Structure 1
Amino acid sequence: MPADRTGGGVQSLERAFGLLERMADAGGEVGLSELSASSGLPLPTIHRLMRTLVDCGYVRQQPNRRYALGPRLIRLGESASKLLGTWARPFLAELVEATGETANMALLDGDEVVYVAQVPSRHSMRMFTEVGRRVLPHSTGVGKALLAQLPPEQVRALLGRTGMPAATEHTITDPDAFLAELDRIRGLGYAVDDNEQETGVRCLAVTVPDSPTAAAISISGPAGRVTEAATDKIVPVLHDVAQQLARALST
């Protein structure tokens, strides 16, 4: 029997990938009834698709009968992250050229931020973050920019799982104060790490709009160079590069 097609695509594939994305949005583990409620698909259809995904290793069934994202997705995700970093580097290089500071790109992966690309500043005194490094989001500019896109209850749940350890004396460690900071970020349109991850370092970050996965770009440098006056000049450049990167990722 030929596969059902919709809009030029294979409907079963579209539905299967849609279920994987819904599982990721739910934290990686869901029940069939939850998937049915969120997707609008009938239970028999979801069961058939999930069995196929289980057989392929992209989903696994837990002892409690719920379904979780499977280990075969890890290899795909790692390869995709590397490619994303490769695609982003020319845009980060443009950011370095315009601001003089180190440029980064990071993704929200579960409860952590992972850095997938960096182009260093040409200054002898510059910031360096290893690509692949994972950090908790509450003390970083990219992390705060990404969390500002999430509903407050989802952020509070994440903070409950990770805790809010202080990286420096300036790190926000109170959930209510942090949620207020996210409100401020939404109003400003950018996030600031002001000596919160590393003393003497300021970071400015914005999200990449309409990115296929939650992503942010940032510049970081010594607090003596990334001043309030410099912020007014750097933030518009960050937004412009983020828009350029968003267009490149959508084509």
Structure 2
Amino acid sequence: MGELAGKSIVVTGAGAGLGQAYAMAIAAAGANVVVNDVNVAGATAVVDAIQAIGGRAVLSTDPVGTAEAAEAMTDLCVDRFGRIDGLVNNAGIHYVKPVWEESAQEVERVIQVNLLGSIHCAASAIRRMRAQGSGVVINIGSGSMRGNRPGMGAYGSSKAAVATLTRVWASELEGSGVHVYGISPNARTPMNLASGAAYLKKSLPEDIAPLAVFLLGDRAMPLNGRMIRLDDGALSLWAGGDYGPVLGNRAGWTSDSLAAALLPAVATDAA
């Protein structure tokens, strides 16, 4: 039995890059997966790949950003798999421009997808999770939420808002059985490579995916409300304005090694 056997998870933006890696790793861990992306060809290929390894997956092409689309994704998961145990709020877009070159349409689109999409998808999923008394939401942040990357003001601020939501939702849901975590990844994805991002290191999306699998499992509960950074193998916790000390650095993280590094750090914080 896999680590996530019997669970049903929605992954948005799962047609390529990190979303694809999350969906594949989650399926390999035994979960049923709703593969969501407006990139129909990419998402269909991910569904096919999951089914080829013996997993269960269903396609969703609803564009995140509206409450109606979020409800459709949640309903699809429940209708096909009987429940929704997890949501990975991965769908996102960005561009690199100084503020004086931005257009209203570009800014509004980033906020619509990255921020409102995360809110609507989480709201829909959490309503179901609260009713069943369990569930996990994972929000995806970014190193740019520190405000350290020129030209990424709109994108970085949308991700900083997602980090805030992670803490707020975790607090609101305390005692409900629903937990909220954040991942701040740095990986060589098609989106980042297309922007010519010079800060990217050698990490691939598959290097980040084990963290999502770990957070969707029961052992991660003490990390409720925390944003976790994984950057070229270096693991750390978001400390508000920046990341905390590196808790470990390795090429191949697993759920066991993530638990061993993260859980003692959280216990120390709480002491």
Larger relative contact order (C-alpha < 8 A, sep ≥ 6)?
2
Structures share a fold, TM > 0.5? no
TM normalised by structure 1 equals 0.28
Tell me which structure has the larger Cα radius of gyration: 1
TM normalised by structure 2 equals 0.27
